[in-house]
Structure 1
Amino acid sequence: MFANPLAPEWLTAPAEANSLPSTVWSHNAARTETGELAIAGVTATQLVRDFGTPVYVIDEADAIARATEIKGAFDSAFARIGSSVKVYYAGKAFLCTEVARWMTAAGLNIDVASAGEMAVALAAGVDASRLGFHGNNKSLSEIDRAVRAGIGPIVIDSVVEIGRVAEAASRHGRTQPVRLRINSGVHASTHEYLATAREDQKFGIPLSDAEAVVAQIRTHSSLDFVGIHSHIGSQIFDTAGFAEAAQRLLELHARLSAAAPVPELNLGGGFGIAYTSADEALPVAELAESLASIVESECSRLGIEVPRIAIEPGRSIIGPSTTTLYTVGTIKDVLVDGEAVRKYVSVDGGMSDNIRPALYGADYSARIANRVSDADPTLARIAGKHCEAGDIVVRAEYLPGDVEPGDIIAVPATGAYGWAMSNNYNYLARPPVVAVLEGKARIIVRGETEEDLLSRDAGITPSGDSE
C-alpha cells in the first residue's frame, strides 16, 4: 500500500492494522473470535465498562513470568561461571503493594528510591533486608527511616552521604551494608535523559575518586562496604555498554579487593523493551549469557574470583505487561504542507497518564481494541486532551481509516513510568490500575476522583463545617 510521507522511516505501512505483534504486547493479549482485544481473557469493552478510561491494565501472569524468566536466566548463566545473582526489581518503574508481593514471591528483591517507595514495599510485607535504597539526595529522615527499618544495602551516591549513613547506623546499633555508585563514564546508546553514567550529570562518584571514597567508607565501623554499583542508562538494546562498564568496574573491583574483600558487583539495569515493531530487544537468556561471559572474561584477565552479581531490571518486567486503554473523542484530518494528511485521533488521557512521549519523544504502538476493521490503514497521531501541543500519546501509527469516536484505543507496553510519572495536569484524576488474570479483573491501585483532588485544596470548606 502507499506509505504516507509524514510517517517516520521506521514505521512500515501494514497490509492491515489489526495484528498484535508478540514482541510488543503482553503474552496473554489476543483477539477474540469477534475481533475484540482481550487481555488474560478479559475483553477491552468489559474493562472499560467496569473501570472506565483511561485505565492501566496489567497482565498479572505476564509480569510474574517475566520476573521469573529474568531470575532463572541470570541464575543459570552466572552459576555456569561459579557465581550467583541478586535480582532487584526496580520499583521506580511501577510499584504498588500487589506488584511488590508478586516480585518477592518470584524470588526478587526490590530497589526503592524514596521513603515513599520504601513505605509501599514495607506495607506489602516485604522484609526490609530485601530492599536496596537508591537516590542522589536522600534526606536525613529517609536515611534514618531506612536504617531503623533494617534495610538492605544503601547505595552511597555522594561523599556527604557516608557520614550521614554511618551516623544513623551507629545511632540504631546497626552495621549498615552499603554500595558505592560509580559514574563509569560509559556512554550508553539511549536518550540523553536516560544515560545515567555520563560525566556531566548528578549521579555517582567519578571513577577516578572511587578508591579514596571507599577507603573513607571503610573507616566507619558502622558501615559494611559490600561492593560498587553502576547504572549506565535505560532502554538499552545491546551489551556493548555493559561490557565497557564491566571492564572498568572489575578493574576497580580488583584493586579494592586487594585491600579487603568485596563480595558483590552491581551492574544495574536498563534492559530495553520493544515499544514498536521496529524495536528489537535482546532475548533474556541471550542477555544473561552475554553478561556472564563478559564478567567471566574480565575476571579471568584480571586474575580474580567472579564476585556475586546484582542487577536491577524494572522496565523489562513491568513494561510489556501493561496496556493502557483510552476512548476516542474527536478526530481531525489535518493537511500538512499541502500534500499529505495526518489523522489526529484524540483520546481521554494524555501526558497526565503517560508523559514519556512529551518528555523523551518516546514512541508507542496502538490498536483499536473493541473491534477489527478491513478499512485501509491510515497514518494517525493519537493525541491527549491536555492544553499542550506536545500532548501526544502515540506520535505515529497506522490505524484503520474508519476509526471513529467511541472506539477503544489500546496502547501496549505502558507499564514502566506511565503510572509512576502520572500527574494531575489540567486537574485530570490519575487512572486506576487493574490486574487481569484468568478471565478476572481487579483494581490494585484505585483511580482518583475529583473529590480526591478537591480534598487537598485548603480553600474549600469541608461539607457540614460552619464559618
Structure 2
Amino acid sequence: MRAHEAGALHGEIGHRGPAWLRTPVDVNALVPQLWPRHVTRGADGALAVAGLDVRDLAAEYGTPVYVLDEDDLRSRCREFRAAFPDADVYYAGKAFLCRAVVRMIAEEGLFLDVCTGGELATALSAGMEPARIGFHGNNKSVTELTRALDAGVGRIILDSFTEIDRLTALARERGVRPKVLVRVTVGVEAHTHEFIATAHEDQKFGFSLAGGAAAAAAFKIIDEGVLELRGLHSHIGSQIFDASGFEVSARRVLSLQAQIRDARGVELPELDLGGGFGIAYTTQDDPAAPHELAKRLRKIVDGECAAENLAVPHLSIEPGRAIVGPAVFTLYEVGTVKSVPLGTGGGAADGRAYVSVDGGMSDNIRTALYDASYSATVANRVSTAEPMLARVVGKHCESGDVVVKDEFLPADVQPGDLVAVPGTGAYCRSMASNYNHVPRPPVVAVRDGRARLIVRRETEADLLALDVG
C-alpha cells in the first residue's frame, strides 16, 4: 500500500465510511521497502527492474511471471554474512529453491538448508558442496537419509526418536558418523499466524523441552555414540518481527545445553537459532535489519552463556524469506474489472473494484492460506485517475482466490494493464500448484538490464505428460 495500508483496512471497511475512502492516495508512488532494490518507475509510469522495462518482460515471457532482482538477492546474502561474520548463515531453501538460486547463495558464501529429498537433489545437481548443506524435516524417509549420508551432507537435524533410530541404523551399516543437531520445541508462542508458528508444544516439530523429550534425545545420541551430536536447534516460526521470542528460545535452549553438560560432561559446540525473520509486505511491517538481529541475538547468547558458565557455541541462523522474499515481484495482466457495493452508505465511494488477473491462488496461496497481506500497483503506465479501493483476485473457481485483499488502484485500471505485486519471492513459487490445471509461472532473473529464464513456464503438455490414464 501507499498512503493507506492493507493491514489497516481489514475489518474497518464499513465502519469508517465514505470520507475515509475518499482520502487522497498517490496511486503511482512506490514505497521503497516493499520493492526489490532495483525497481523504479519511469516518467511514463512503467516499472523497470535493473533497467529492464516490465512491459518488455511481459512481452517476452508472458504473464504471470515471477521477476527476481538478482543483485537484490545477492546483496541480502552479503548483509547477513556481514552481520553474522562468526556464524554459519544457512539459506532456508523451502522459501524458494532452484538451481540458479543455489548457485547464487553459494557464490555469496552461504550454506543451504533443505528439508526434502527433492530439495537435496536440486542442491546437489546445482553443485552445492554437500558439507555446506543441512538436512531438516520432521519425517525424513530411509531413502532420504540414505541419500544424505551417501552425499556427505554437513549436518542432519533430528526431529523424533524414530528418526534417531533410523539414522543410527543407517550410520552403523555404512560405518560413518554423521553430524547431527536435536531440534528442540521450546514452548515459545511466536507472534505470527498459527500455521507458521513452530515452537509451541502442540505441533509436529521437534522434541519437547518442557516434557523432557529434548534432553532424553540428546542423552540417547550421546550414550549410543554412533551419531556425532554437535548441538541444539530451535526454530520458533516464520514472519516474526518481535525479537523477544528469539531471546526466550535462546535462553531455554542454552539452559538445556547446561543440563546436558552437567548430566553427561559434554559441552555441545554449536547452537542453531533458526530463521523466520520477517519482511515488509505492507507499510505496517517494520522488519529489523540483519545487523540489528545479530546484535540482539549475540547479546542474549553471550549473556546466557555467561550465566550458565558455558563457552559461547558456534552459531547458525537460517534466513530464507528475509533473503528471497523482497527480491521478487509477480507481474500479472488484468483480465476483467468489476465494481461491487460494500453497503457503507451508497455511492461510488462505498464500492470496491474486483480486479481479476491471469494468475491467483495457484501462484500465491499465502493470502488464502495465511490471510497474508500484499501490496500492488499498476505497472505499465502512469495514471491521473482518482484512486479506488480494489481487491486483486485470480482466475480460479474459489471465492477465496485473492491475491491482494485491499489496495488503492487508479479508477481507470482496465483489461490489458499490468499489475505488479511485490514481496512474492518466498513461499509463492515454492507453494505453487496446478489448481484448475493452470500451469505454474516461470521465474526470470534480471541483472544489469538483462533477463534470463531460470525456471521455465509449465505448459499444458507438462500437465498431460503426468496423466497416464
Q: Shorter-chain-normalised TM-score: which range? A: over 0.9
* Of 214, 227, 231, the match for 2:235: 231
**What residue number does 1:44 align with?**
54
Contact 2:69 2:445 in 1 (8 A): yes
Counterpart residue number, 2:92: 90
**Would you say the 8 A contact 1:10–1:278 is kept in 2?**
no
Alignment of 1:358-377 (within 5 A): 358-377=368-387
Does residue 1:71 correspond to 2:81, yes or no? yes
Q: What percent identity do the matched residue pairs reach?
A: 51
Distance 1:55 1:2 in 2: 27
Verify: 1:274 aligned to 2:280, yes or no.
Answer: yes
How many Å apart are 1:172 and its aligned residue? 2.1
1:324 matched residue in structure 2: 330
Alignment of 1:282-293 (within 5 A): 282-293=288-299
Return 45-54 or 164-173, whichever deviates more. Answer: 164-173
Q: Write out per-residue CA displacement over residues 417-438 of structure 1, whole angstroms, 9 at most, x where no aligned residue.
A: 0000000000000000000000
Q: Does 1:240 align with 2:250?
A: no
* 8 Å contact from structure 1 (residues 275, 365) kept in 2: yes
Q: Distance in 1 between matches of 2:299 and 2:357?
A: 46
Deviations 1:89-114 (A, max 9, x none): 00000000110011111111000000
SS at match of 2:91: strand
Alpha-carbon contact 2:258-2:267 (below 8 Å) kept: no
Q: Tell me the CA shift for residue 40 of structure 1.
A: 1.0
- Indicate which of 346, 360, 364 corresponds to 2:356: 346
Q: Does the 8 A contact of 2:4 with 2:25 survive in 1?
A: no
Tell me the equivalent position of 1:253.
257
Pair 1:386 & 2:390 matched? no
Determine whether 1:451 maps to 2:461.
Answer: yes
**Partner in structure 2 of residue 134 of structure 1:** 136
Q: Is 1:99 aligned to residue 101 of structure 2?
A: yes
Quote the offset at 1:2 in angstroms: 12
2:16 corresponds in structure 1 to none
Query: How far off its partner does 1:373 sit?
Result: 1.0
- What TM-score do the two structures reach when normalised by structure 2? 0.93
Instruction: Go from structure 1 to structure 2 and tell me whether the alpha carbon gap of 1:287 and 1:92 turns closer, same or farther (over 3 Å shift).
Output: same
The RMSD of aligned alpha carbons is: 1.9
Deviation at 1:226, TM superposition (A): 0.3
Q: Which residue of 2 aligns with 1:313?
A: 319
Q: What residue number does 2:116 align with? A: 114
Residue type at the aligned position of 1:47:
L
Q: Conserved in 2, the CA contact under 8 Å of 1:4 and 1:379?
A: no
Structure 1: which amino acid aligns with 2:232?
Answer: I
Tell me if 1:23 matches 2:33. Answer: yes
Q: Which of 258, 263, 271 is the equivalent residue of 1:265?
A: 271
CA drift at 1:262: 0.5
Matched, 1:125 2:127: yes
Q: Which amino acid aligns with 1:225?
A: L
Cα deviation 1:254-283 (Å, max 9, x = unaligned): 222342130101000000000011111112
1:464 corresponds to: none
| Distance change in 2, residues 1:262/1:16 (3 Å) | same
The one-letter amino acid of 2:366's match is R
Q: Distance in 1 between matches of 2:125 and 2:357?
A: 35
Structure 1 contact 16–374 (Cα < 8 Å) conserved: no
User: Corresponding residue for 2:167?
Assistant: 165
Letter in 2 for 1:232: I
CA distance in 2, matches of 1:4, 1:386: 26
Match of 2:223? 219
Please state how far the C-alpha of 1:287 moved relative to its aligned partner: 1.2
Question: Post-superposition shift, 1:337?
Answer: 2.3
1:10 Cα shift?
9.0
Alignment of 1:158-197 (within 5 A): 158-197=160-199
Shift of 1:3: 8.3
User: Which is worse superposed, 328-337 or 313-322?
Assistant: 328-337
Gaps of 5+ in 1: 76-83, 460-467
Q: Number of aligned pairs?
A: 451
- Aligned-pair distance for 1:15? 2.8
SS of equivalent residue, structure 1 residue 241: helix
Distance 1:436 1:238 in 2: 33
Whether the aligned pair in 2 keeps the contact of 1:270 and 1:313 (CA below 8 Å) is yes
Secondary structure of 1:447's aligned partner = coil
Q: Deviations over 1:23-48 (max 9, x none)?
A: 11010011123221001111110000
TM-score, normalising length: structure 1 = 0.94
Question: In structure 2, do the counterparts of structure 1 residues 325 and 198 end up closer, same or farther at CA, with 3 Å as the change threshold?
Answer: same
CA distance in 1, matches of 2:69, 2:107: 16
Q: Distance in 2 between matches of 1:269 and 1:121?
A: 19
Residue 430 in structure 1 maps to residue 434 in structure 2? no
- Per-residue CA deviations over 1:157-187 (Å, capped at 9, x if unaligned) read 0011111111112222211000000000000
* Cα separation, partners in 2 of 1:254 and 1:14, compared to 1, 3 Å: farther
- Opposite residue 320 of structure 1, the aligned amino acid is P
Structure 2 stretches of 5 or more lacking a match? 14-19
Give 1:78's aligned residue: none
Preserved contact between residue 444 and residue 454 of structure 2 (Cα < 8 Å): yes
